[in-house]
Amino acid sequence: MNIIEAKDISVTFDSYGDIIKAVDHIDFVLPKGQTIGIVGESGSGKSTFARVLSGLQIPTSGSVTFMGSPIQTGKNTYQGALRKEVQMVFQDPYGSLNPRMRIVKAVAEAIRQHQGLDKKTSTKVALDLLESMGISNLDAQKFPSKLSGGQRQRASVARALSAQPSVLIADEPTSAIDQSAQAQLLGLFNDLIKKGLSIVLVSHDLGVIRYLSDYVYVMKDGIFVEHGKSEEIFNNPKQDYTKKLISSIPGHVIK
Ligand SMILES: Nc1ncnc2c1ncn2[C@@H]1O[C@H](COP(=O)(O)OP(=O)(O)OP(=O)(O)O)[C@@H](O)[C@H]1O
Ligand SMILES: [Mg+2]
């Protein structure tokens, strides 16, 4: 069963009189419990499409459904019971963390809001969640700017998970962090996959995509130039564009 389906999605931006087709009539499905990778060069439309799936960007055309129901009602998306179901981790973790709020408070507030727990309990749940993700109770008291890049990324994943979503949309979660922090984050995603979370993973790091994804969509100039099972895309890419992207994976192959 598909937990998310997107049909005929376009997004155009008007930039000082120029019309930019960031996303150009594309279809996409996320089967329940799977991890779908979206790869492509910078500016190909990955983040814009991810924002459409998470309801933050209203498409110029097309529609998205969650478990068969449209996510959009009027000008709003993911209303009522749907609100917690799809959570996004942003390319820039400052996008999901309030710089003036201590990490534990940001996560506890999300828990209180989505799980209806009181202040004390939500703080405890937040501290436990952060600790399970490698952020000590001491570090949890810090403001986002006082954490390392990797800790900040894990904190924004924690915040997204505190809604207990069934879908996580992660936009470049491993960019701007070093190798060991990246390995830690990959381990975390592996655990989430084992727990049955459905994930859309956007990255220009094909090593990461190959390691985590069941299925891959390759994006260029707002369209998907090819898509297929991960091993198909990596072992037998059809498009020159995909071959070029794959040949840019540094050194060894992860899987
Ligand atoms: N709010 C906006 N207004 C105008 N143009 C935009 C806006 N957001 C994105 N674009 C344009 O849409 C295109 C796709 O951008 P997008 O951020 O989706 O690319 P991306 O694939 O995520 O790139 P990257 O790998 O660098 O993150 C780009 O040409 C970008 O300049
Ligand atoms: Mg992007």
Q: Is there a single domain that holds both residue 169 and residue 234?
A: yes
- Specify the CATH number for the domain of residue 35: 3.40.50.300
Residues 6+ apart with CB under 8 A from 64: 4, 5, 6, 7, 9, 52, 53, 55, 70, 71, 72
Q: Which atom of ligand 1 is nearest to the CA of 11?
A: 12
Is the residue at 49 inside a domain? yes
Last residue of a domain, one of 118, 134, 158: 158
At 97 the pLDDT is 87
Q: Is there a single domain that holds both residue 78 and residue 169?
A: yes
Q: Is there a single domain that holds both residue 53 and residue 171?
A: yes
Ligand 2 mean position, distance from CA 173 (Å):
11
- Cβ neighbour number for residue 112 with a 10 Å cutoff: 18
Print the domain residue range for 109: 95-158
The residue whose CA has the least distance to atom 18 of ligand 1 is 45
The residue whose CA has the least distance to atom 16 of ligand 1 is 45
Q: Is there a single domain that holds both residue 33 and residue 54?
A: yes
- 38 - beta bridge partners? 202, 217
At 32 the pLDDT is 97
Q: Is there a single domain that holds both residue 75 and residue 176?
A: yes
Is the residue at 90 inside a domain? no
Ligand 1 mean position, distance from CA 210 (Å):
23
Nearest ligand atom owner, CA of 46: 1
Q: Is there a single domain that holds both residue 24 and residue 77?
A: yes
Is the residue at 120 inside a domain? yes
Last residue of a domain, one of 109, 141, 158: 158
At 153 the pLDDT is 87
Last residue of a domain, one of 138, 158, 178: 158
Tens digit of each residue's pLDDT (9 = 90 or more) over 232-242: 999 999 999 99
Q: Which atom of ligand 1 is nearest to the CA of 44?
A: 21
Q: Is there a single domain that holds both residue 140 and residue 19?
A: no
pLDDT < 70 stretches in the chain: 93, 250-255
Q: Which atom of ligand 1 is nearest to the CA of 48?
A: 18
Q: Is there a single domain that holds both residue 144 and residue 170?
A: no
Q: For the packed helices 149-161 and 179-194, what is the interaxial angle rounded to 10 degrees?
A: 20
Q: Collect residues with CB below 5 Å from ion ligand 2.
A: 47
How far is 130 from 202, CA to CA, in rounded Å?
23
Q: Is there a single domain that holds both residue 74 and residue 37?
A: yes
Ligand 2 mean position, distance from CA 162 (Å):
24
At 205 the pLDDT is 85
Number of domains in the chain: 2
Is the residue at 209 inside a domain? yes
Q: Is there a single domain that holds both residue 57 and residue 76?
A: yes
| pTM of the predicted model as reported, rounded to 2 decimal places | 0.92
Q: Is there a single domain that holds both residue 25 and residue 65?
A: yes
Q: Is there a single domain that holds both residue 71 and residue 130?
A: no
Is the residue at 254 inside a domain? no
User: Strand 18-31 relative to strand 61-66: parallel, antiparallel, unpaired?
Assistant: unpaired
Tens digit of each residue's pLDDT (9 = 90 or more) over 157-201: 999 999 999 999 999 988 777 788 888 888 889 999 999 999 999
The residue whose CA has the least distance to atom 28 of ligand 1 is 43
How far is 32 from 35, CA to CA, in rounded Å?
9
